[in-house]
Structure 1
């Protein structure tokens, strides 16, 4: 794919749009960027491009966005069915995505990790394991917060890049071909965009669509929706499973993590040595270890990377089952990144103490039925926050006491009022954040601040009581 002297329209700014606009400009393209938001809302992104000969059409898309375009490049958040893109297709203008553009220029081998949940953790852990290999540099990119377009010009054949690939990024790919693809799990998500599970699966399937018999795919052996990918790819299959052995791959037996290769099993570490909480994170460790196995990383290197891994050292893992603090014996956990039902279910399964659960936000077509068993067994109170609470209430109110909150502070205080020492207040929304917050990070930060406010209030209250007792 060549870009010099082409008229290219980039739809959608923010991280991916800015990164691919810079890349295309560097390669000699005539770039136009367009976004439905106003210039005031996008000032930071505009400033990032201000020294370049790039045109802007902001506050909406019109005919100028496509009338001279030889190619249209989409940021992941841009829906494929908006009217202006339908016009472009009718006019025969090719449409692709940021990931496809960057990958076409990538000299380094690519590992691509996708799934409904666990992508960020697995991407970062995989990169840490692969740093034990003979690479000049191992970096992460993609949906993890650093667009591949930002990295690709600095990558060489001696490097390795581990890409977190979302369905939004994959659905616009045509020739994307990682040397190793990983599919962690597949459950209902993003149906507000993909409409059907079949379409969602088809987008995920693109992670391995162009792989050949010289490539590898790592699959969750216990997820039928994922394991079926083996029938639709030419790549060599490696599996992982946390409750069963595998022919080739990684598994857990007697609480020990093993890697099986060429018929022989090799001990990696105790499952308890993994610092990441929850069964879902054990699955992420198994997937990352399987990739390390493919690249021939030594057992000792993998063991050290797993045991020394600290989520706190990696900013993309903030707001993912993150302990905030304990107030009067009540633990607060920020899982704002849990934007689908599968993530909430994993969080609930990871806890043994009674839970006050805060849910809600912008619903993406969720089915909440898979939560019922966990809610009945573990949740003593459900606090609903956000614009789609009626859907959650209809699904879960028969199984748990449910209350509404108007703000994050109200939600935290309401949950705390129902909690006893030893309980857990868990923010795990199962929804996107756009109804009340700019993103899941802002929502998670609001939760942290609400907990800090609660702690401060409790401390002040205790101090007042103590002073009153002294005065008596």
Structure 2
């Protein structure tokens, strides 16, 4: 887009929403229906009769009552629009003046040929992230990075909420209801915290956040894009900022520190390696959490602190709220213990670096379960490091298991066909004081090993 999205400009235009049962699509439909858009066509790959099931799968992290209520609203919304479900998916998509597509649409090339053709013809595409940034009158804090963006964005949200601020959350996290329907009622006194993935930046931005945060960058999603393009997408969150905005950057990564030379916004650095770069405020937080136990990684904690200092939250309040903030669902989350063994759900860790962060946090007396798709990442060094640092390593049959066979000695790790088998094997191998964690270190673990099957908790209950 060449200018920020305007509700008034497109209210009477032909609008198409793709993947409408998903977290992004349903949120966009809710906003546009609420704003009295006249000509909306929605598309979904699932047949209409399966729309409830599809909606609830894509909103899986929301409590059951909230999920049921959200579906009731969604069911009312789709009554008022044109529907292309199942075999009619993407029918007449090129008739749209603007297309709202989910961040994942490029991953499904076979199903989305008409969408790709529409994109190539220059039909206007817009993302959920653009809508948030273009329409929000509130102060927007947007967090991106390979690892930690979800944790940092939730920590910022928790501290602001605990400090009595009016704060909303949205973006990449599909485990929570989006805040998009509230966007037009926000004020300049409110805060909006966004978790932003690289895919949500592929349609480009016209307006940057008041505060952008870059947690780190590792080679990731190389099956989708080259490393330089991946970095460029992450950096684009900052290139659209103004000189009155702030970029909170992790100085421990040279590529990130160099970004400060290329942007208009004011760079604020944090570091776990060069402590003198931290402000006094951030260093107080660093020192406190190095002495005291926390659910969160120190790198995520000081990134959060750097943001809260800019928002004039006292250091005492920030420490208090971080101390009481719980782990995210499926992110280093302790889900069970029996007095001898602890179990952790870390399913959201989809890179080897996130899994290494888990090991750093939990220690080496750990039985680790991994598996999934490798996204073109070079696993050689990471797998060797992981295998060396854990008590036992179990890898599910997957692309990652094939990678492990190249780099790890036979017998240095165990193989399981299903998550149930892996958890049973880990329980058999565990001794008093052992921790067991499901931390895939690769992509699509939920889809391949949990979706439509038993959850980790259900399997543990029946062990």
Common fold by TM > 0.5: yes
1:163 aligns with 2:190: no
Instruction: Answer yes or no: is the 8 Å Cα contact 1:245–1:251 preserved in 2.
Output: no
Take 1:23 and 1:10, find their aligned partners in 2: how far apart are those partners?
Answer: 12
Q: Give the alignment partner of residue 25 of structure 2, picking from 17, 34, 38.
A: 17
Partner of 2:210: 179
Partner of 2:222: 191
Take 2:132 and 2:310, find their aligned partners in 1: how far apart are those partners?
Answer: 24
Partner of 2:169: 140
SS in 2 for 1:269: helix
Relative to total residues, which structure has the larger helix share, 1 or 2? 2
Compared CA separation, residues 323 and 222, structure 1 to 2 (3 A): same
Task: Quote how far apart the aligned CAs of 1:217 are.
Answer: 0.5
Partner of 1:4: 11
Take 1:424 and 1:132, find their aligned partners in 2: how far apart are those partners?
Answer: 31
Instruction: Answer yes or no: is the 8 Å Cα contact 1:171–1:204 preserved in 2.
Output: no
1:332 aligns with 2:343: yes
Take 2:450 and 2:199, find their aligned partners in 1: how far apart are those partners?
Answer: 19
Task: Quote how far apart the aligned CAs of 1:62 are.
Answer: 6.0
Greater displacement, 230-239 / 244-253:
244-253
Take 2:406 and 2:456, find their aligned partners in 1: how far apart are those partners?
Answer: 24
* TM alignment of 1:40-55, pairs within 5 A: 40-43=49-52, 45=55, 48-51=74-77, 52-55=79-82
SS in 2 for 1:207: helix
Task: Quote how far apart the aligned CAs of 1:245 are.
Answer: 2.0
Take 1:41 and 1:385, find their aligned partners in 2: how far apart are those partners?
Answer: 30
Take 2:280 and 2:237, find their aligned partners in 1: how far apart are those partners?
Answer: 21
1:153 aligns with 2:184: yes
Take 1:246 and 1:288, find their aligned partners in 2: how far apart are those partners?
Answer: 17
Take 2:227 and 2:407, find their aligned partners in 1: how far apart are those partners?
Answer: 23
Q: Give the alignment partner of residue 28 of structure 1, picking from 36, 44, 55.
A: 36
Q: Give the alignment partner of residue 426 of structure 2, picking from 399, 415, 421.
A: 415
Take 1:342 and 1:176, find their aligned partners in 2: how far apart are those partners?
Answer: 31
Task: Quote how far apart the aligned CAs of 1:204 are.
Answer: 1.1
Residues 412-464 of structure 1 deviation map (CA, whole Å, 9 limit, x = unaligned): 1112222222222221111222552466xx88x7222222222xxxxxxxxxx
Partner of 1:406: 417
Partner of 1:310: 326
Task: Quote how far apart the aligned CAs of 1:148 are.
Answer: 4.3
Take 1:269 and 1:377, find their aligned partners in 2: how far apart are those partners?
Answer: 30
Take 1:148 and 1:285, find their aligned partners in 2: how far apart are those partners?
Answer: 24
Partner of 2:85: 58
Partner of 1:91: 121
SS in 2 for 1:363: coil
Instruction: Answer yes or no: is the 8 Å Cα contact 1:216–1:237 preserved in 2.
Output: yes
Partner of 1:397: 408
Instruction: Answer yes or no: is the 8 Å Cα contact 1:114–1:164 preserved in 2.
Output: yes
User: Which blocks of at least 5 consecutive residues in structure 1 are unaligned?
Assistant: 259-267, 312-316, 455-472
Task: Quote how far apart the aligned CAs of 1:173 are.
Answer: 3.0
Q: Give the alignment partner of residue 269 of structure 1, picking from 270, 288, 312.
A: 288
Task: Quote how far apart the aligned CAs of 1:367 are.
Answer: 2.2
Compared CA separation, residues 26 and 377, structure 1 to 2 (3 A): same
Instruction: Answer yes or no: is the 8 Å Cα contact 1:218–1:238 preserved in 2.
Output: yes
1:452 aligns with 2:461: yes
Take 1:394 and 1:60, find their aligned partners in 2: how far apart are those partners?
Answer: 41
Residues 325-368 of structure 1 deviation map (CA, whole Å, 9 limit, x = unaligned): 33462322221111111111111222324322111123322322
Relative to total residues, which structure has the larger strand share, 1 or 2? 1
Take 1:404 and 1:141, find their aligned partners in 2: how far apart are those partners?
Answer: 38
Instruction: Answer yes or no: is the 8 Å Cα contact 2:281–2:305 preserved in 1.
Output: no
Instruction: Answer yes or no: is the 8 Å Cα contact 1:241–1:251 preserved in 2.
Output: no
1:215 aligns with 2:236: no
User: Which blocks of at least 5 consecutive residues in structure 2 are unaligned?
Assistant: 1-5, 56-70
Compared CA separation, residues 309 and 124, structure 1 to 2 (3 A): same
Residues 203-248 of structure 1 deviation map (CA, whole Å, 9 limit, x = unaligned): 2112112112111000111122322321221111111112322445
**Highest CA radius of gyration, 1 or 2?**
1
Greater displacement, 160-169 / 81-90:
81-90
TM-score (norm 2): 0.85
Instruction: Answer yes or no: is the 8 Å Cα contact 1:98–1:169 preserved in 2.
Output: yes
Partner of 2:256: 226
Residues 380-414 of structure 1 deviation map (CA, whole Å, 9 limit, x = unaligned): 32212243243332244328622222222211111
Instruction: Answer yes or no: is the 8 Å Cα contact 2:171–2:178 preserved in 1.
Output: yes
Partner of 1:71: 98
Instruction: Answer yes or no: is the 8 Å Cα contact 1:34–1:65 preserved in 2.
Output: no
